[in-house]
Chains A and B, each alone.
Chain A
């Protein structure tokens, strides 16, 4: 019997973690529903959202634009190397634009947004909770979800598609820079091949939809982790780490699902 104890304990541990995870998932779902229910106030007092748009959107601009430019440059260089062996360098514009608009724009912008703005949201709300500012609000009959959480949620959801679009534009510009200006691919075929193959509805709108979904996922995870963080220094730091890890995994997982739905290769 005694020899079996470690086994029993580990099984019990697995069960404990599983129940804990399901519990948190349910709590997070209720939290999400509460955000949606309490959004009315943040739209009536729109300056709350504007303020958060500044912190999560405007402050993320530089990293998004610079990263987009670099990704476009790398796509241009790598794409040229590969296409050259087929003698179809003129399709470089198509390759750069399609990979950015469909995949890299939404996904990379979301990953950057999760680590730049999502972590900040978690830390901010976690610390507000740890220093009992949230409890103080409740004492003053101010609903913290409506006053603190919902504006951050909507700011993230609004800024994510805009950031992803800017990322893609910078990427296309980077691809143009390296492909046309430095390597010397024909400018006319670069743009015309791109316009011929990129469909507004099928590629661009689906990309925007993707980034919108990622925006919802990132902000819900970040806000929930902050709201649920233990009121200690370790608790807040752990929650910030979990935000970045979980949102990165969820972004990539959602990307698989959305790509499978959107681009089934009709």
Chain B
């Protein structure tokens, strides 16, 4: 069997296609930002998570330190159970405050970690006790309406 120019064209075509998929994966998609470093898992309970979803970012001082892996309702406590993976390079004290924040006025919700003063560090599987739930716009409006009604009396 002879090598032909047709083979060259088809080879170029296949290589170009694979390169296109690679560009999509690394330049357009998030494959390059996937964290391959080790992480540890912590849990936190919230009375209200608002619009928080799995894959939401976990940030401390605005720096991305991990990702939310699961949001579900714990049927024993009737509270939302949020599981997150935090990069092993970043260690946080046991009394870290976990709050659900919003990027911008109407943006995506993410988890903010504010380190406390405890000497002990969080380990894999720990539960963080200091939490602050998402701010629900309706609650705020309700409070404002109630306080207005109060002051009108």
Chain A interface residues toward B at CB < 8 A:
47, 50-51, 53-54, 57-58, 61, 97, 101, 158-159, 161-163, 165-166, 168-169, 172, 191, 194-196, 198-200, 203-204, 208, 266
Q: Is B147 an interface residue, CB under 8 A from the partner? A: no
Which residues of chain B have C-beta atoms less than 8 A from A195's C-beta?
Answer: 27-30, 32-33
Count: A-B pairs, CB below 8 Å: 82
Residue of B nearest to A53 (CB): B10
Describe B's contact surface by its main secondary structure: helix
Q: A51-B6, A54-B10 are in contact. Are A165 and B32 (CB under 8 A)?
A: no
Q: Show 6 A/B contacts (Cβ-Cβ < 8 Å), sorted by A.
A: A101-B29, A169-B20, A169-B23, A199-B29, A200-B31, A204-B25
Q: Is B21 an interface residue, CB under 8 A from the partner? A: yes
Q: Is B73 an interface residue, CB under 8 A from the partner? A: no
How far, in whole Å, are A119 and B92 apart by their CA atoms in the complex? 63
How far, in whole Å, are A14 and B14 apart by their CA atoms in the complex? 47
Chain A nearest CB, measured from B4 CB (Å) = 9
Chain B nearest CB, measured from A114 CB (Å) = 18
How far, in whole Å, are A75 and B31 apart by their CA atoms in the complex? 24
How far, in whole Å, are A169 and B17 apart by their CA atoms in the complex? 10
Residue of B nearest to A203 (CB): B29
> CB within 8 A of B28: which of A161, A163, A194, A266?
A194
Inter-chain contact A191/B16, CB cutoff 8 Å: no
Inter-chain contact B13/A61, CB cutoff 8 Å: yes
> CB within 8 A of A58: which of B10, B20, B21, B25?
B10
How far, in whole Å, are A189 and B17 apart by their CA atoms in the complex? 27
Chain A nearest CB, measured from B135 CB (Å) = 22
Inter-chain contact B6/A101, CB cutoff 8 Å: no
Q: A50-B7, A199-B29 are in contact. Are A58 and B24 (CB under 8 A)?
A: no
Q: Is B9 an interface residue, CB under 8 A from the partner? A: yes
> CB within 8 A of B17: which of A166, A172, A196, A199?
A166
> CB within 8 A of B20: which of A57, A162, A198?
A162
Which residues of chain A have C-beta atoms less than 8 A from B34's C-beta?
Answer: 200
Inter-chain contact B20/A165, CB cutoff 8 Å: yes
How far, in whole Å, are A208 and B25 apart by their CA atoms in the complex? 11
Inter-chain contact A196/B30, CB cutoff 8 Å: yes
Which residues of chain A have C-beta atoms less than 8 A from B23's C-beta?
Answer: 169
Inter-chain contact A101/B28, CB cutoff 8 Å: yes
Residue of A nearest to B24 (CB): A204
Which residues of chain A have C-beta atoms less than 8 A from B18's C-beta?
Answer: 162
How far, in whole Å, are A61 and B15 apart by their CA atoms in the complex? 13
